[in-house]
Amino acid sequence: HRVPAVSHTMWYFIGAGDDPTGKSGLAHYHEHVMFLGTKKYKSGEYSSIIARNGGDQNAFTGHDATAYFVNISKENLPLAMEMEADRMGDLTASDADMEKEKQVIIEERRMRIDNNPDALLSEQVNAALFRSHPYRLPVIGWQHEMDKLTKQDVLDFHKKWYHPNNAILIIAGDITAAEVKPLVEKYYGDIARVDVPSRNWNDEPPQR
């Protein structure tokens, strides 16, 4: 309560370890597409609206989960919630924006992995260390599989996994549980529950 600000983070229990076979990098690609627009907000509006209201936002993908955070003034928390709830339910990125964003993640791979000997070594070590478990896959994906990802892959991924019962919301800062509960119910309470598949990751053979 030292400053009138809050941090709003939506965690989804879905990550790179859940990428379908042959579609590595899909969870990370989808994370990028979450910023490309819905029926209500045009491409890029999410980020620009948060910035205009003094907030800071970003997202990250891991093997186990994907998270989207906003740090913003307490008075603008309802705005952040409204936009997060909107994109939980709907994505409508254009074909052109989808293709442009795919080139962004491919370039990100070149910059962070292909041009970094340490990252290349780490990627190859993980691929050798984990024989069956999905931790063997790079979060960003193998480029030959990233090249083939499609808009429909992303939309299917969203429809399959991005539901309130497959997520947890963490809010911290200058706010109490009593204050935040009505806001959560207002913005997220009407989003329908959808059954999601159970995570079924392979066990590792004995390490030798």
Nearest residue to 138 (alpha-carbon basis) of 105, 103, 113:
113
In tens digits, what is the pLDDT along the chain, a chain of 208 residues? Answer: 999 999 999 999 999 999 999 999 999 999 999 999 999 999 989 999 999 999 999 999 999 999 999 999 999 999 999 999 999 988 999 999 999 999 999 999 999 999 999 999 999 999 999 999 999 999 999 999 999 999 999 999 999 999 999 999 999 999 999 999 999 999 999 999 999 999 989 899 988 8
Nearest residue to 161 (alpha-carbon basis) of 58, 44, 10, 8:
10
- List Cα–Cα distances, 121 to 17, 50, 105, 116, 117, in angstroms: 20, 37, 20, 9, 6
User: What is the torsion angle, in degrees rounded to the nearest 10, for the CA atoms of residue 112, residue 118, residue 123 and residue 126?
Assistant: -140
Q: How many helices (H) does the chain have, and how many strands (E)?
A: 8, 4
- List Cα–Cα distances, 99 to 11, 15, 68, 117, 180, in angstroms: 26, 21, 22, 28, 38
Q: What is the pLDDT of residue 98?
A: 95
DSSP letter, residue 153: H
Contacts of 78 (CB under 8 A, 6+ apart): 183, 186, 187
Q: What is the pLDDT of residue 103?
A: 97
- pTM for the complete prediction? 0.95
Q: What is the pLDDT of residue 208?
A: 81
Q: What is the pLDDT of residue 90?
A: 84
| Residue 9 zone, left/alpha/beta (φ > 0; ψ -120 to 50; rest) | beta
Which residues belong to the active site? 31
Residue 119 near residue 112, CB atoms below 8 Å: yes
Q: What is the pLDDT of residue 111?
A: 97
Main-chain dihedrals φ then ψ at residue 76, nearest 5 degrees: -100, 5
Nearest residue to 72 (alpha-carbon basis) of 88, 49, 92, 53:
53
